[in-house]
Structure 1
Amino acid sequence: MSEPVLKVENLKKYFPIKRGLVDVLKGKPERHVKAVDGLTFEIGKQEVFALVGESGCGKSTTGKLVMKLLEPTDGKIYLEGKDVTELKSKEEVREYRRRVQMIFQDPFSSMNPRFRIYDVLEEPLLIHGIGETRAEREELIYKALEMVKIIPPEDYVGRFPHMLSGGQRQRVAIARALILNPTFIVADEPVSMLDVSIRAEVLELMKDLKEKMGVTYLYITHDLSTARYFADYIAVMYLGRIVEMGPAHVVIDNPIHPYTRALLAAVPEPIPERREIIKELPIKGEVPNAANVPAGCRFHPRCIYMEKGLCDTKHPQLIEYEHNHWVECWLAGKI
């Protein structure tokens, strides 16, 4: 197999909780929010790897770690075989930022409202010194807009972000990410702010651009239906850990972990005949505090299959349950 485009090993990010004066005087130890706690995965060239889970599970923090917007507490990040965990010089950081771009969830808040669309797309070119003349940069901007189906581009470059629809703004955000010809793109819930009628359209556009430009995606979402449609691989996150991972069709069609089953049971079923097959949502309670992670399996306080003396005392490891299908559960195959 060829070298993966992105590889992370035992990636962790702990945020310290500020202690009060009384806690310091009493000598209470420093506590941390364990947002990401030991992720290991790799993404091959032109693959779409989806991180799926509830809000607060650590998906977006993982994306920010990959983007180098946050520094990891521990672990390694490799881009095309090169260790990029700690980049020393500004030149190395700038080159990494050119090769790894991000599509944000809200296209409106990620753009300067005082910038016209032309300025939004010219800014990354100016920062990275691409295009010696304004005419060269203008040509790149027009090509980028045409790639994302903002046609004709001359009708849009003079507009401000508030003058575009939500779908058009997200297309401009995609164009901004692609204009630097990156190797890897972190897409943080890129369609969750869009109308349902145009989500598939935007995802189809991103698929086409993946084939044309050879980019690789880390797709962050809470929506299993779009992950099944768009992703090649799915990793289900819970409380900072990956609890199940494998090819998209395998994870969706043959879920092993109780949490994955609960997420799938929560998806509305459009076929009336199949609604009777879906059982009661196999989950209870709320997500525990990431600053006070439960002992044993992190999901055991909410799991209806929990076995006392095992699930609540010993932490399971992510094991290969079957070929290329990984799961972190003591009861894998027994439920």
Structure 2
Amino acid sequence: MAEPILKVENLKKYFPLKRGLLASLRGEPQRFVHAVDGVSFEIYKQQVFALVGESGCGKSTTGRLIVKLLEPTDGKIYLEGEDVTEIKTKEELLAYRRRVQMIFQDPFASLNPRFRIFDVLEEPLLIHGIGETRAEREELIYKALEMVKIIPPEDYVSRFPHMLSGGQRQRVAIARALILNPTFIVADEPVSMLDVSIRAEILELMKSLKDKMGVTYLYITHDLSTARYFADWIAVMYLGRIVEMGPAEKVIDNPLHPYTRALLAAVPEPKPERRNVIKELPIKGEVPSAVNIPPGCRFHPRCIYAKKGLCDVEQPKLIEYEHNHFAECHLVGKF
């Protein structure tokens, strides 16, 4: 079997909370936000792996740990078999950043408003020493813009980001990520800030670039409908942990975890004749605090199927219930 492009083992990220003077004097223990709490998965070449969940579940933090914008509290990250968890030197980090790029959620915030589009795309080339002359860099920039359907590129290179539409800005952000020819791209909700009419367009573009350039994606989203369209595998996150994982079709068509069922029930109904049908969500209450994690299964306070004495006491393990279909639940097949 082929080796994974990216492998994550028991990845954790805890953010310490600030303590007041009185808490320090009383000797109260340090408290932490458990943003990512023991996440493991593998992503293979040219695969789209989707991390899905509500805001605050830890999916974006996971992406930032992978691109080394944050350092993990514990766990391991492997890129093409190489342990990249503790990159120390500036040279190693520079080499890693060339192989792993990120597409951010908001293209207006991620593009320097003082840079023209040419400067936005030239900057990574200058940082990594690609292209000896301006003419060589210009050729690479024009090719990158043509790849993302910014045509003709000469009409856009002298513009500032605010002179482009939201979809065009995100295409430029994708071009910036691809211009270094990376192995792996973390796409953090790349279409959530865009109009519904162009979301499928951008995802189709990313899919075609995956096939053309052989790139692999970690696709972070809260939208199961786009995950089903774009992803090969889906991992559902809740309160810092993966609660279900498997091929996209299996997770969508046969969800094993109550939380995944709740996410699917919350997807808007596309058929006009069914839009007035009120769906009963199989979920209750609010997301618990990531500081005070509930004992046992962390979903049990909101689960309508939870069993007292089991779900509120014992933390379930991520178990393979079907071929390549995993779930972290005591009651799989019993509800």
- Measured against the shorter chain, the TM-score band is over 0.9
Q: Assess, with a 3 A threshold, how the Cα gap between structure 1 residues 85 and 233 changes in structure 2: closer, same or farther.
A: same
Aligned counterpart, 2:177: 177
| DSSP 3-state at the match of 2:12 | strand
Report if the CA contact (8 A) 1:4-1:43 is conserved: yes
Aligned counterpart, 1:317: 317
Aligned counterpart, 1:206: 206
The residue type paired with residue 208 of structure 2 is: D
Aligned counterpart, 2:122: 122
Q: Deviations over 1:232-259 (max 9, x none)?
A: 0000000000000000010000001000
Report if the CA contact (8 A) 1:145-1:175 is conserved: yes
Q: Assess, with a 3 A threshold, how the Cα gap between structure 1 residues 142 and 75 changes in structure 2: closer, same or farther.
A: same
Map 1:213-228 onto structure 2 (within 5 A).
Answer: 213-228=213-228
Map 1:127-146 onto structure 2 (within 5 A).
Answer: 127-146=127-146
- The offset of 1:269, in angstroms, is 1.8
Q: Deviations over 1:186-232 (max 9, x none)?
A: 00000000000000000000000000000000000000000000000
- The offset of 1:90, in angstroms, is 1.1
1:38 correspondence with 2:56? no
Map 1:74-153 onto structure 2 (within 5 A).
Answer: 74-153=74-153
Report if the CA contact (8 A) 1:145-1:151 is conserved: yes
The residue type paired with residue 85 of structure 1 is: T
What root-mean-square deviation, in Å, do the aligned CA atoms of Structure 1 and Structure 2 show? 1.2
Q: Deviations over 1:52-99 (max 9, x none)?
A: 000000010000000000000000000000000001211110000010
The residue type paired with residue 233 of structure 1 is: W
Aligned counterpart, 1:10: 10
| DSSP 3-state at the match of 1:176 | helix
The residue type paired with residue 312 of structure 1 is: D
Q: Assess, with a 3 A threshold, how the Cα gap between structure 1 residues 273 and 331 changes in structure 2: closer, same or farther.
A: farther
| DSSP 3-state at the match of 2:281 | coil
The residue type paired with residue 145 of structure 2 is: L
Aligned counterpart, 2:21: 21
Unaligned runs of 5+ in 1: none
* Counterpart-to-counterpart distance in 2, 1:195 and 1:272: 20
Aligned counterpart, 1:247: 247
Question: Identity of paired residues, percent?
Answer: 84
1:197 correspondence with 2:197? yes
Unaligned runs of 5+ in 2: none
Report if the CA contact (8 A) 1:265-1:278 is conserved: no
- The offset of 1:263, in angstroms, is 0.3
Aligned counterpart, 1:52: 52
| DSSP 3-state at the match of 1:237 | strand
TM-score, length basis structure 2: 0.98
Aligned counterpart, 2:235: 235
TM-score, length basis structure 1: 0.98
* Matched positions, count: 335
